[in-house]
Amino acid sequence: MLQRLFKSQWQKSIYNAEKLVHSGSGSVINPKELLGKDLSLLTDNIRKLLGSGHPVLETVSNYYFSKQGKHVRPLLVLLVSLATTKQLKTQEIDKPLTNNSGIFFKESKTEFILPTQRRLAEITEMIHTASLLHDDVIDLSLTRRGANTANHEFGNKMAILAGDFLLARASVALARLRNLQVVELLATVISNLVEGEFMQLRNNSSNPLQKFNQQLPPVFVNEQLENSPDFQYYIEKTYMKTASLIAKSCQAATILGGCDEAITDAAYSYGRNLGLAFQLVDDMLDFVVTENEFGKPVNADLSLGLATAPVLYAANEFPELLPLIERKFSQDGDVAIAKELVLKSKGIEKTRQLAKAYCDAAIQDIQVLEPSRARTALIEITEAVLTRTK
């Protein structure tokens, strides 16, 4: 019975990943064919990594993995691994592979995912899920993935501790990769997640910036606005809370694959740009989809006092929004007025344009990779990120 239940969940996750690549793009790439076995192992292995003598802890820790996640982060790690195999092959063809047990050779027999890269995909999803467990407590959220949040179902204390447990088990799995550079990268991601959340809680551009963005591609929809301290602060925060994990896990996949610096840099940059686009779209969807579609609360950002990209663009058009932003939409009626002005403005469209510009930069980043079906899938994912509705 349990086995049957798990099996159907794996199928759902593959289905979701497939939808992500296919949506709106008329794709010819089938991630199920490309990654079916690897993705179906994901939840199964995570369950094993989360085994505990305490049944309640195991239940709460596994709770979000039993819901329909999009699995964007592990999908990207696996695709980047696959897309960079050829680089490894051409550069290290004469060297023995040290961790080649259990490699799944793909159709062409020249593209494969290393066991360490597969484990990295699992670790990435565990860190992401830990951050959601904590985030839902902070945001007082009641729904996620179309069901009750863990805090709603089990209470704040258990949700927080389950998040800690996920992080701890992810850290053990990370140490077992025996790659210090990768451990350092993913440990930095965890601190970036917390820094991003703090930036969001303070939500104040007078705080010092991390200056990560000196290498950001020059993508602009409204250069003057996007160069303003408030917008820069928003982009920094977005990098910390979302793009850092995607960027550094893509980079870590190429490090585990033995790629040279040109490729590891490209993977990082692709992940950073795609991650920024992903969060811009998330912030846009908060205004335009229903809770039923989104599977989590909508209009949540305004209620939390947050001025995301659609609001910042709208305020440029309708300056009457500025005092509402300043007081974090705290007065009666503020949230409704702000929403109306955002929808009346070009804020949604401009946010989409900026996300598209980051996606174009991400596509540019991976031009250094040799052409492959996995590289095509990485390109098509940018389109899916832009057209997703959940």
* Binding partner at 46 among ligand FPP, Mg ion, none, C-beta below 5 to 8 Å by kind: none
Query: Which residue is associated with the tokens 């369950």?
Result: 47
Q: Considering CB distances under 5 to 8 angstroms, the limit depending on partner class, which of Mg ion, ligand FPP, none binds residue 131?
A: ligand FPP
Q: How far is the CB of 306 from ligand FPP (least distance, A)?
A: 8
Residue 130 engages ligand FPP in binding (rule: CB under 6 A): yes
Among 139, 195, 283, 286, binds Mg ion (CB under 5 A): 139
Nearer to ligand FPP, 108 or 191 (CB): 191
Smallest distance, Å, CB 307 to Mg ion?
15
Please, what is the angle between helix 2-22 and helix 373-387, to 10°?
90
Concatenating the DSSP letter of every residue in 249-267 gives HHHHHHHHTT--HHHHHHH
Nearer to ligand FPP, 82 or 173 (CB): 173
CB 153 within 8 A of CB 312: no
What is the per-residue burial (b if ≥16 Cβ within 10 Å, else e) of 297-309?
A: bbeebbbbbbbbb
To ligand FPP, the closest distance from the beta carbon of 271 in angstroms equals: 14
**Stretch near Mg ion under the rule CB under 5 A, chosen from 10-18, 77-85, 129-137, 264-272:** 129-137
Q: Which of 9, 61, 87, 131 binds ligand FPP (CB under 6 A)?
A: 131
CB of 138 to ligand FPP, least distance (A): 6
Q: Is 194 in the site for ligand FPP (CB under 6 A)?
A: yes
Distance CA 187, CA 248 (A): 10
The beta-strand segments (E) located in the chain are 104-105, 112-113, 143-144, 147-148
Question: Which whole-number Å values give the CA distances from 213 to 101, 132, 281, 383, in the listed order?
Answer: 39, 25, 19, 23
Residue 127 lies near ligand FPP (rule: CB under 6 A): yes
The length of the chain is 390
Do residues 127 and 189 touch, judged by C-beta distance below 8 A?
yes
Footprint on residues 241-260 left by ligand FPP (CB under 6 A): 241-242
Report which DSSP code applies to 239.
Answer: I
Q: Which of 29-37, 138-146, 180-188, 348-356 is the region at the interface with ligand FPP (rule: CB under 6 A)? A: 138-146
3-class DSSP state of 330? coil
* Residue 53 beta carbon to ligand FPP: minimum distance, rounded to whole angstroms: 23
- The one-letter code for the residue type at 18 is E
Residues 270 and 382: their CA atoms lie apart, in Å, by: 10
Q: Is 112 helix (H, G, I), strand (E, B) or coil?
A: strand
Angle at CA 149, nearest 5°, toward 24 and 172? 90
Q: Which is nearer to Mg ion, 196 or 257 (CB)?
A: 196
Amino acid (1-letter code) at residue 275: G
Query: Residue 162 or residue 366: which is nearer to ligand FPP going by CB?
Result: 162
Counting residues that bind ligand FPP (by CB under 6 A) gives 18
Contact 170, 182 (CB under 8 A): no
Judged by CB under 6 A, the residue of 42, 79, 193, 302 near ligand FPP is 193
Output 135 or 226, the one with its CB closest to Mg ion: 135
Of 55-74, which residues contact ligand FPP (CB under 6 A)? none
Residue 242 contacts which entry, ligand FPP, Mg ion, none (Cβ below 5-8 A, type-dependent): ligand FPP
Q: Which two tokens stand for residue 98?
A: 């040290």
Rounded Cα gap, residues 148 and 286, in angstroms: 18
Give the residue, chosen from 125, 135, 365, 383, that forms a contact with Mg ion under the rule CB under 5 A. Answer: 135
Residue (355 or 374) nearer to ligand FPP, CB? 355
The DSSP code for 144 is: E
Which CB sits closer to Mg ion, 142 or 225?
142
Binding site for ligand FPP (CB under 6 A): 127, 130-131, 134-135, 138-139, 141, 163, 167, 190, 193-194, 197, 241-242, 296, 300
Binding site for Mg ion (CB under 5 A): 135, 139
